[in-house]
Amino acid sequence: MTYQDGSIFYGQGSRTSKEFEQVTGKLLITNANKKLKELIGVKCVYAINFFRSTSYTLTKCKITDIQKKVLSNISDNK
């Protein structure tokens, strides 16, 4: 995911066969740039819906107060 200030993190998604049918799964944040390095290792759940050529995703992650502060400090100022 890329934020408005250019910060980036990468995640690896996975689904079981049951989750594949439900279009839900788990996401592990595996890498991030220096600004978001505190997010590496965060585990999330997601749901995805496809409509025509567009996908819509809702992701929920359990984060610490430190991780929340890192995300709160993202701004459009580079």
Note if the pTM is more than 0.75: no
Determine the Cα–Cα distance for residues 17 and 14; give it in Å rounded to an integer: 10
pLDDT at 28: 93
Give the sign of the dihedral formed by CA 5, CA 6, CA 9, CA 14.
positive
Cα 30–Cα 31–Cα 37 angle in degrees, nearest 5: 115
Helix (H, G, I), strand (E, B) or coil at 61: strand
**Domain definitions of the chain by residue range:** 9-68
DSSP H helical ranges for 1-78: 17-22, 65-72
The tens digit of pLDDT for each residue in 5-60 reads 888 887 877 776 665 556 788 889 999 999 899 999 999 998 888 888 888 888 99
